[in-house]
Amino acid sequence: MKKILKISGITLLTILVLLIGIPFAFHGQIQDMVKRFINENLNAQVEFSDVSLSFIRSFPQAYVGVNNLVITNFEPFKDETFISAKNISFTMSIKELFKAASEGPIVINSIYLDEALLTLKTDALGNNNYDITKDNETETTSESDGSFAFDIEDYKISNSAVTYVDEISKMAIHITEFNHEGKGAFSTEISELDTKSEANVSFIFDNTNYLNSNPIKLDAKIGLDLVNSKYTFKENKALINELPIEFQGYVQLLENGQDIDISFENPESSFKSFLAVIPKAYSKDIENVETTGDFKIKGIVKGILTEETIPTLNISFQSNNASFRYPDLPKGIENIVIDTEIKNETGFMKDTYVNINTLNFKIDQDVFKSSIALKNLTENMFVSANIDGVLNLGNINKAYPIELENDLTGILKAKLNANFDMKAIETNAYERIKSSGSASISDFAYSSETFANPIQISETVMAFNPTTVSLSNFKAKTGESDLSGTGTINNLLGFLLNDGTLQGHFTLNSNLFKINDFMSEDEVQTADNTTATSSESLKIPAFLDCTINVNAKTVVYDNLNLSDVSGTLLIKDQQATLQNMKSSIFDGALSIAGDVSTKGETPTFNMSLSADGFDIAKSFKDLELLQSLAPIANIIQGKINTNINLSGDLDEEFAPNLNTISGNALAELLATRIGDNQSELMNKLEGTLNFIDFSKLDLKDLKTKLEFANGKVSVTPFDLKYQDIGITISGAHSFDQTMDYSAVFNVPAKYLGSDVNRLIGKINDNEVNQITIPVTANIGGSFTNPSVKTDLTSGVSNLTKQLIEIEKQKLLNEGKDKVSNLIGNMIGSNQTKTDSLKQEQNNAVKNVLEGLLSGSKTKTDTTSTETSTKTNTTQNTVKNVLGGLLNKNKKDTVN
């Protein structure tokens, strides 16, 4: 007995080893078989990581698995993935693995597909990405070429997804979390297949989402007539969300399409069935919802489905005097009447139409009635709509469990009729857009993180005309700002239905308009994990394309108060263009033209500003821009006219980013003087240049030009006057207040004291008064911590040269006087003398002139020596005088 058991055990162990080991021996053969099948049957790029074979996993059948399968299309869908699967496996009789190619196809008994992603696509030219199978040349070849045949007893698809996109019909179906399995016998001509399916389904048609991840379940028994390719539905029950649907009929495959004859209806008629159709994300838990009334769905789909035709349709949804109320909500929805039908009577897609004959309901005391007809769905859809009712917006989430992102209140009243086609909406063909009636919103309030304050609209009245909408009354408030307006809107329906632009012409008035009321505060997390707030800059809406005439009594921008603001604002493509914008500020008049764009990540501006009669002290105190352009003006009192052209970036508070601006400015000072608020710079200048009283500086009619770019302001040289001292100023400063300026003071000699006057005492008074000495003050540092250095080199050199030149001219003039006297005496002698006497006289004159010239030469030489000596004396004297003048005791350069 022990021997028998031992032999049996060894035998079983040997069989087990063979069952485990043989697949490894046939691993290469199996891979070759799969590759051969792919190459002979598919016109696509196929990749997989491994093929496995097991005799144990599905014993007594063989198990073949293909891992990480990816099939990629060729042209015209090159490099697009057709299918990917984590694992696809087959079971078959072991003997099928050892079939020769001449013995016929390998018979597969079951197929399992796990985590597959399948994409079926038809492009706009009618190409299908699933046309990847190769056509076999003859039937004989197809039966003996080593391919696969199916004698399936069961199959299963798990955790998969399917996407179907048809660009011609503008239809898309997305199936996710797809699990499907079936059991049956496909080997007989007449058989039955038992299936179970569940998935989430989305259905989009012509950009309209009819199903949005709706969970669907289907348990169906399907009669199989394989000879006639006819599949009949028996004992079928489907669940759309929680709505049960029973259906019967058949689908038969034809050479050029499918013959479909299916009818369906919901077995229950409770109105709760309608709520069950709505996705759970919106309907929430409907188990405890109280409902009254009925709801019925019926449908017949019958006809031939081909590339040109569809089956005829007759689908209806009806409910009468229904109501529902959620137990946790204070209000319910009553008097619900629904009468909707979807029909196609011709079999052509374009003739499908939807009639919402009645859609009425009542919330609290507000009754809302509507009807809509949609025709020509697949081409140029035509819409006819009627709305008549009142809706309290604040009651919506009190009667239905919808989560609104922002609080919403207000009373909407509408009595409208509209007829249009979608192409007219898209192309703004206003003559084909017909609308009439009126609509109004009162006591509307809207809160959002986008706005710093709730927007409150006390009243809005719109009248609908065939081509335009007239806004006859609009009153709103947010924060402390108020708005009122009138206007016309050209394409309201296009804006609402087609994501178009809002085109129109408006007039807006405001008593107080504060920019900060339209800015939002966002909380941000800082590096040290503390919470801070940051202002998010205002964005110009991309949907606006309009002209706005603006009139505001007061506009508050940061710390500025602008009065009597008026002008025109053109808004298009996220850009606001200002035209003829005028205002009163700083006791003067301001004019603005230019544009602001928020299209990019950083807002930009391009502006021309004209200021007429600005109070300098007020404007330079409150305007950071003027402080940066001309900070010295902060100590000036009086009026200013200026024209400024500038462009650059705006920061989050819509103020110019000074480091990015460029442009130029022209300024004219009117009746101005240095104020009493002396700056550190003026103190330094007065301490260094004590011959000037800066409080008496003449600034009247001063004109200057500034140019700025890359954070730097360059000042074109300009002239000032202090009594009879001329001053020339030039240089530049940066927006960080760093200065590099020079001021040249042309000082008359009479201010230089007795030493200089004694030095030039031999010169007459008129010449002394004409002598000036340039004194240069180099100004650096910053406006709050300036440095002033004076340069006397040019002044000393200039005065020395002038004195020497004057003395030279004086000596030459003395020589000329002697020659003139000599010639005069000669002319006064007796003119009646003889020629010989004349010759003697000529000789005498010649001798006198030669002596004079010789003497002059000698004197000139002597003068040259004296001049050289005097030059040194003069320079030293000038230095001492100027040093004393500047309080610096005989130094060439005074700091």
> Strands 544-557 and 502-514: what pairing?
parallel
Q: Three-state SS for 666?
A: strand
> 774-806: b or e for each residue (b if 16 or more CB lie within 10 Å)?
bbbbebebbbeebebebbbeebbebbbebbeeb
CB 388 within 8 A of CB 414: yes
- Give the whole-angstrom CA distance, residue 777 versus residue 741: 8
* Alpha-helical segments (H) within 692-773: 754-759, 765-770
Closest of 141, 144, 140, 223 to residue 188, by C-alpha: 223
Tokens standing for 825? 């005496």
Q: Name the residue type at position 208.
A: T
* Alpha-helical segments (H) within 743-834: 754-759, 765-770, 793-827
Residues of the chain with pLDDT under 70: 1-41, 55-59, 96-106, 134-151, 185-188, 208, 279-283, 405, 448-451, 499, 519-538, 633-635, 670-679, 691, 749-770, 792-800, 802-804, 806-895
Task: Say if residue 644 is exposed, middle or buried (CB neighbours under 10 Å; 0-12, 13-18, 19+).
Answer: buried
- Give the whole-angstrom CA distance, residue 517 versus residue 477: 10
CB 46 within 8 A of CB 38: yes
Closest of 549, 547, 563, 459 to residue 511, by C-alpha: 563
The pTM of the full predicted model, rounded to 2 decimals, is: 0.60
CB 684 within 8 A of CB 699: no
Its sign, for the CA torsion 687, 693, 696, 701, is: negative
Query: What residues does each domain of the chain span?
Result: 241-404, 755-780+790-829+846-894
Tokens standing for 763? 């010169």
Task: Say if residue 526 is exposed, middle or buried (CB neighbours under 10 Å; 0-12, 13-18, 19+).
Answer: exposed
- Give the whole-angstrom CA distance, residue 860 versus residue 849: 15
Give the pLDDT confidence score for residue 508 in this predicted structure.
92
Closest of 90, 128, 94 to residue 111, by C-alpha: 90
Residue 8: CB atoms within 10 Å: 10
Give the pLDDT confidence score for residue 336 in this predicted structure.
94
Q: Three-state SS for 601?
A: coil
Give the pLDDT confidence score for residue 755 in this predicted structure.
56
CB 193 within 8 A of CB 221: yes
Per-residue model confidence as pLDDT tens digits over 184-228: 766 667 888 888 899 988 888 777 677 778 888 888 888 888 788
Percent helix / strand / coil, the chain, rounded to 5 = 25, 50, 25
CB 403 within 8 A of CB 384: no
Give the pLDDT confidence score for residue 17 in this predicted structure.
40
Per-residue model confidence as pLDDT tens digits over 329-378: 899 999 999 999 999 999 998 899 999 999 999 998 899 999 999 998 88
Task: Say if residue 562 is exposed, middle or buried (CB neighbours under 10 Å; 0-12, 13-18, 19+).
Answer: buried
> Where in 724-883 does DSSP place strands (E)?
725-734, 739-748, 772-781, 786-791
Q: What phi-psi label fits residue 293: left (phi over 0), alpha (psi between -120 and 50 degrees) or beta?
A: left
Q: Three-state SS for 211?
A: strand
Chain-centroid distance, C-alpha 388: 38
Q: Name the residue type at position 644.
A: I
